[in-house]
Amino acid sequence: MSNTFKINRRYLKRISNFFKIELSFGLSLLFKKAVVWGNPSILMIEPTNLCNLKCQQCITGSDKLQREKGFMSYSQYCKIINQLNDSLLYLFLFIWGEPFLNKKIIEMIRFAADKGIRVSISTNGLLFNNDKHILLMLKSGLNLLTIVMHGGPTAHSYCSYNNSSENEYIRVINTVKKIVKLKKTFGFLKPIIDLQFILMAQNIHEIPYMKQLGVDLGVDIISFKKISLIDANNECDIAKYLPSSVQYSRYVKTTGRPSMIAKSPYINGCRRLWLTSFVCWDGNVTICCNDSHASWTIR
């Protein structure tokens, strides 16, 4: 049996599983009773919950993460991917930490990509040490590389949020330039390079500059992510970080506590409970992407 036939047959299994999950979620909403068919089509894996930055509203960077820190082993990672190989369509290799701190991250990307799984990773871009390292990443089979400019497009807004230095801001800019250049030089079609900015009260006025920076650097996508608060009851953080415009905020005001709640497309159900699993670095599985402390583990 040819490898192509094996891959196509597996892909059909994954698509069939996806529709089972989607159908079971729809039936759950309709009958207001949990119906679960199939396995997760999307997996989020945490290569590590350590980070090299100190972003103020990140539970890892602010050192408020209430669980042991460490790195997922390559052997454990491969075991997880193999167990879900017939259902996985997409893999996000990041949760609460900087994935490139894990020394096996390139091998992890390649292992999943070789199985026909689309792989996405989000990074602060500070750990690409040289051209050789960048080329290894470009050759790994990665589909989407998101480089997050946490505070904004200028050195001041960038450094003031993640407590870094101007030198680190310059390093990120130069890294993006190198990645774009090497991708074009060697003719790589992927990964898609996404330059992402975290929107908050301090940098909303810089949106035009953010867009222009992305154009100047030659990235494929310029995206914007609304800031998440560690504590939606903290009035000081609400005043400091949340934009006054609802358009740029992921929260809406409430009359009780918490004083702010996240916007949600579903009133009585979250699709991710059916579609996605979240695996911490130690192998524990949590039911929610916002369960940073892994308080609700199912393993």
- Rounded to the nearest integer, the mean pLDDT of the chain is 87
Q: For residue 92, what pLDDT is reported?
A: 96
Q: For residue 121, what pLDDT is reported?
A: 97
pLDDT in tens, 195-221: 999 898 888 888 999 999 999 999 999
Cα–Cα dist 171/148, whole Å: 13
What CATH fold (topology level) applies to the domain 41-286? TIM Barrel (3.20.20)
Q: Taking the CB of residue 189, how many other CB atoms lie within 10 A of it?
A: 6
What pairing do the DSSP bridges indicate for beta strands 260-262 and 276-279?
unpaired
pLDDT in tens, 59-114: 887 788 888 999 999 999 999 999 999 999 999 999 889 999 999 999 999 999 99
Burial 140-160 (b: 16+ CB within 10 A, else e): bbbbbbbbbbbbbbbbebbbb
Residues 6+ apart with CB under 8 A from 33: none
Q: Which two tokens stand for residue 100?
A: 């490139």
pLDDT in tens, 255-289: 666 666 666 655 567 888 888 889 999 999 988 87
The answer to whether 243 and 249 are in contact (CB under 8 A) is yes
| pTM, two decimal places | 0.89
Cα–Cα dist 196/210, whole Å: 9
What percent of the chain has a predicted confidence (pLDDT) above 70? Answer: 91
The answer to whether 193 and 214 are in contact (CB under 8 A) is no
**Rounded mean pLDDT, 43-61:** 89
